Amino acid sequence: MSERMIAPVTQVIYANTFFSRLKGLLGTRQLPADTGLLLEPCNSIHTWGMGYAIDVLFLDDHNRVLQVAATLSPNTWGQKVPGACRVLEMAAGQACRLGIQPGDVIDLNQRKEGI
C-alpha cells in the first residue's frame, strides 16, 4: 500500500519555542482554512480558552499521521498520542473534507514563523 502525501494547508505557522507553543491559537478568532499551526515538539494539546473548534493531526518524525482528532471542541483536553513528535492544528472540518487518515503523510513545506 503506497503512502498518500497530502498538503492540507498552504501556510504553516511554526511554533517551536516554549512561548509560541504555550500561546498556540489563544487570542485568535478563527484559523483560516488555508493555514495550520505546527507545534513542535508536541504529543498532546488542549483547547482551553479557545472560542472555536479545530482539527488536530498528531504526526510522527516523518510527518506521518498517527491520529486525527476531528472538530475538537473548545475547552477540552486532547489525549497524549504515543510516538507523536509534532501536532498540526487546522480549521475544523479540514481533515474530513480532505479524507485525512492515519498513515497519510503531511507535506509541511510551506512554513512561516509566528502567529
Residue for grid cell 482539527 = 55
In a 3-state reduction of DSSP, which class is residue 95? helix
Domain span at residue 109? 5-113
Residues (pLDDT < 50) of the chain are 1
pLDDT digits (tens, 9 = 90+) for 2-22: 578 888 898 899 998 888 888
3-state helix, strand, coil in the chain (%, to 5): 10, 35, 55
Bond preceding residue 41 cis, omega within 30 of 0: yes
What integer pLDDT is reported at residue 1 of this predicted model?
45
pTM: predicted TM-score of the whole model, two decimal places: 0.89
Number of independent structural domains in the chain: 1
CATH of residue 38: 2.60.120.1140
Residue 4 · residue 91 · CB < 8 Å: no
